[in-house]
Structure 1
Amino acid sequence: MVEIELVPEDLSNEDNTSYVEMSKADIWFLKHLLKKYNPKKIVEVGVSAGGTTVNLLNWKDDNAKLYSIDISTQWYQDETKSIGFFASEYEQQEDWKFFKGKDFLDVYKEIGDNIDFIIIDTRHAVPGEILTFIATLPQLKDGCIVVLHDLHLNMMYINEDIIDIYYNIASHCNALLFGGVSSHKKWTVKNDPMTNIGAFVVDDTTRENIKDVFHILTSTWEYFPDDLDLDAYDEYVKEHYSTETYNLYSNCMKLQSKLFNLNPKIEFSTDKK
């Protein structure tokens, strides 16, 4: 495996920085990979205000199509605003399809396979992006570029002297995914003190060693994903993965469900020491 650390360059005046929730280095990293690999079917999971969506629409090739998905319908920072509100002026474009209040499994048949570029930027807490990647992988073509944002969000908050137990403990889902997934090539961006965005190529090792990603589901979950259609996930994993991998997934779901049912108000302590 080769991990390449890219040195960010300046953004152009046309690059959007409003409502992006990324540093300028992160924005450049995403733009660099999109321009270099020129994908034709792009999927964005996690939209928030839509700042990154605007950039993806402006950067992509004219013949490419973008599919944006967010399980929320309202922006988490201001519930009077609709999810993706910043990109609303683009909604009539034929090269963009926006699924609001939907999970990937709700719409994957409409999107189809051969996805060659995907950015996953959702809950940041386990099992969040782990389940998203498990759901999306069967639809990703070999050579697909997978971008993970907020790779080390928990560490970034510590660096900024924001010592909050939620961010310190819970916001490390994409770090676990990035470290656990197999690929011949991974990228990060050079940043101080630590990169917060990464990417990898889907290749033969990604699929061969996917059970390593499923093993992350045995770690402590910060929440139980009862907003998802878990019956649909069960059938999907059974159909697309090996029996051994499905059994691991099924047992994890049963045990995590038992944990949260026994302790319905599980939450991390907020005591400061």
Structure 2
Amino acid sequence: MSLQNFEIVTGDPNSKVILHVPHSATFIPEEIRKDILLSDQELKAELDEMTDTLTEAIALKAAEISGKKPWLFINNFSRLVIDPERFPDEREAMNAVGMGAVYQKTSIGSQLRNPDPTVEKQLLADYFYPYARALSDLVEKRFTVLGEVTLIDVHSFRVNQHPNAINHGQVRPSICIGTDPFHTPKWLTEAAQSAFSIIGENYLNQPYSGTYVPLTFYQKEAKITSLMMETRADTFLTDELKIHAGFETVCKALAHLVDLIQLR
């Protein structure tokens, strides 16, 4: 029987904000680890490169200090198991570099796992689709109660771009704000720019673009809004991936955005 790969942290009954943390974990179940071709040392290096280190801690701290506690939806498994924010089919642009919903390649372009459609299908069935359904159900329940929901997609990115990518040559500011033409209204973008100004310079959709919306509601319900927070790792982590003083600033910025959304 498969382990549940996500956790829901209950927020205030009247909070319309959900913090989604998809890439913070490093856990890989042993039965999945055996199909990964990397040595333990290579796997650790890949996890260090690909994990949005301590973004779960940022979301939890921000929830704690915000005026009205948001709900949290957290991926408890590494994105090397499945990436819940990829399309599970040919629509996914990252398929071009072997990093679709089930990664075949590493951040440097080497083989992560041998291509096996049966294994990939099983990973999607066990982990991708249950995750997507659970997050969609949470959004639907909160929407039914309040009539509006805002998802904040909590990410980080490394100072240097990894080689196996499709967005080379873009700026890498302190904060990247990812938006969607349908689900990110102007007021939400402006609220994020205001809240995140204490971290540093921000760009829209560079080096990462878009934001997660459950496919059930994608381009269908405008009152389900979404925005992606991509924080450059050195604004809150040392080179050894340990927290420094900037961590508190990032948490305060996210909490401020939560409060601005809630007060609207």
TM-score (structure 2 length as normaliser): 0.28
- Higher RCO (Cα < 8 Å, 6 or more apart): 2
Name the one with the larger helix percent: 1
